Structure 1
Amino acid sequence: MGSALRLLKTLSAEEPEMGITALSARLGLAKSTVHRLVSTLVSEGFLERNPVDGRYRLGLLLFSMGTLVRRRMNVAEESVPLLHSLCERSGETIHLAVLHDSEILYLRNIESQHAIRPRSYLGVRKPAFCTSEGRALLAFSPPLVLAQVLRAPLVPRTPHTITDKAALQQLLEKVRHCGYAVDDEESEVDMRGVAAPIFDATGSVVAAVGLAGPTQRLPKAKMHRLAAMVVDSAQAISKRLGYSPRDGI
């Protein structure tokens, strides 16, 4: 793995294409070893062979992966003022999260001024299936993404966590219908959260904005009003990313 990564990093804007001999000399590896590494990287889409001169260059898979990274960077940057505004209007902690395999990764964390509040999740990963942000993302992701999550056991984080896969699928149908997801003490005891999806210019879900706080301050009767605020913020961020709703979402 280390040698393969070194090989990929060897290709640059100055030298976008290299042959086996040049790669062997640059990496200090035998030609047979480099050829084996190159063959594997080509088969996986990380490299491609120039049919004219036989040299190798970075493959389209890396371009696709780079596009995903840029999307995440864009949403993290464009969302900041709207996340702060939502925090001020709601008085609660606000999160921005993205989907990574079967987990979510928190990119932004705007803390409320209350003494009792969720701890900072910045850079933290949590299961997608039991968090409001994760559910908002899963509900609007391609079916294959949800299928991947459902293949693994749903391990409960609290006594309230929904672990029945059929029940989870029904819950995600409701999320698609109403446009937001709720976490009712399913990720952490005594904490509730609500989240809504963020879409980019292509209509793909790229992130979720979430609001979280203690159950004593977020009674169920209050969640609907907070959900409307979160949805408004998510729609405003989506608009900044170039999203134009076509189906009322």
Structure 2
Amino acid sequence: MDGTGAPGAPAAVLTSRKPNNDTVVPALTRGFAILDLVAKNPGLDFTAIRGRLGLPKSSTHNLLSTLSQLGLLRMRPDRGFVLGLKLTELGALASDHHFAEAEVLPQLGQAKGKEAKKLC
């Protein structure tokens, strides 16, 4: 799913592993695989995306169309895909939530306390 596999090689997450959780939505997993691939390889066209992820033509078309309509992907004039502006918007909103700070600060406080005890 990282988009770095050999062209034509299906992504392992899509074909060889069965998720342990019954609530995983395959179309969403495939859509994210497309976003991940395009993020790491901007400008890939329909054929390249389909080939690298090992998806059927109809699924690839439907996913690319939906992701484009949602603003998550954008097609360039040369028919290559790049990430859409909606992802920038979502990223900015996510950074405003300060999730990392809420999770890391308590752990840093504990680590400082342990270091202080070692020094005494």
Partner of 1:19: 45
Partner of 2:35: 8
Output the TM-score relative to the length of structure 1: 0.29
Partner of 1:221: none
Matches within 5 A, 1:89-100: none
Partner of 2:91: 66
Report the Cα offset of residue 36 of structure 1.
Answer: 1.1
- What stretches of structure 2 of length at least 5 have no aligned partner? 1-27, 107-120
Percent identity between matched residues is 35
Q: Which of the two has greater strand per residue? A: 1
RMSD: 2.2
Task: State the Cα deviation string for residues 141-192 of structure 1 (Å, max 9, x = none).
Answer: xxxxxxxxxxxxxxxxxxxxxxxxxxxxxxxxxxxxxxxxxxxxxxxxxxxx
Aligned residues: 78
- Deviation beyond 6 Å, 4+ runs, structure 1: none
Q: Which has the larger radius of gyration?
A: 1
Output the TM-score relative to the length of structure 2: 0.56
Report the Cα offset of residue 10 of structure 1.
Answer: 1.1
- What stretches of structure 1 of length at least 5 have no aligned partner? 78-106, 111-249
Residues 71 and 10 of structure 1: is their aligned pair in 2 closer, same or farther, counting only changes over 3 Å? same
Matches of 1:12 and 1:50 in 2, distance apart? 14
Task: State the Cα deviation string for residues 96-148 of structure 1 (Å, max 9, x = none).
Answer: xxxxxxxxxxx3697xxxxxxxxxxxxxxxxxxxxxxxxxxxxxxxxxxxxxx
Matches of 2:42 and 2:84 in 1, distance apart? 11
